[in-house]
Amino acid sequence: MNYHRLIVLTGFMGSGKSALGSKVASRTGAAFRDLDDEIEKLEGKKIRDIFREDGEDYFRQLERTCLNQLLSVKPLVLALGGGAFAQPEIRSRITAHDGVTVFLDVPVQTLFERLKRNTNRPLLLDDDGQMPDDDRLMKRIRELLAQREPVYRKADITVTVKPGWTHEQTTEEILKHLSEYERTARSQHQ
């Protein structure tokens, strides 16, 4: 499948955007970029350190700056950070560049399992930078997801990831949805 435009993966942290984005890119002949990785390269430090040293507002500005730099790469599969899609400016820039957005809708229990040992997610950590106990972590995931999910649902495509799916199965589902989306878009323009 050759895909000539911008494909943007969004969803909660731990939903697999980076791993799946790389697979989708290789299957579509597109370049792949991870917005968080690009920010870390630009700043020369980890996301958690940017949050701790410079604050979330500064990080959100970096997301907008890096996105603008990446939009010249075509075709491109782009994995956004978990909070990037919540920014109206980011959504409008993607739309202006004819981007197709894909929300990876992953069950909360799966997210919890993937995130419970990951100390690189500053919004989930306690004030002292430590991982909270399981109950508090699940509560934080649910609260943050409740805030972000309505925005994620604004994506062009929603891929509901089933528990236990491999990256290959999820990649196939993403490609199937992209194909259907393109077919529908073409039929509407005829």
CA distance 59 to 47: 8
pLDDT at 1: 57
Q: For residue range 52-91, what is the model confidence (pLDDT) as tens digits?
A: 899 999 999 999 999 999 998 889 999 999 999 999 999 9
Pairing status of strand 76-79 against strand 100-105: unpaired
- Confirm or deny that 155 is annotated as ligand binding: no
- Confirm or deny that 30 is annotated as ligand binding: no
Instruction: Supply the CATH classification number for the domain 6-162.
Output: 3.40.50.300
> What dihedral do alpha carbons 163, 168, 169, 171 form, nearest 10°?
100
pLDDT at 74: 85
- Confirm or deny that 16 is annotated as ligand binding: yes
Q: What is the average per-residue pLDDT within 17-45?
A: 96
Predicted model pTM: 0.92
Cβ-based neighbours of 166, under 8 Å, separated by 6 or more: none
- Confirm or deny that 153 is annotated as ligand binding: no
- Confirm or deny that 121 is annotated as ligand binding: yes
- Confirm or deny that 14 is annotated as ligand binding: yes
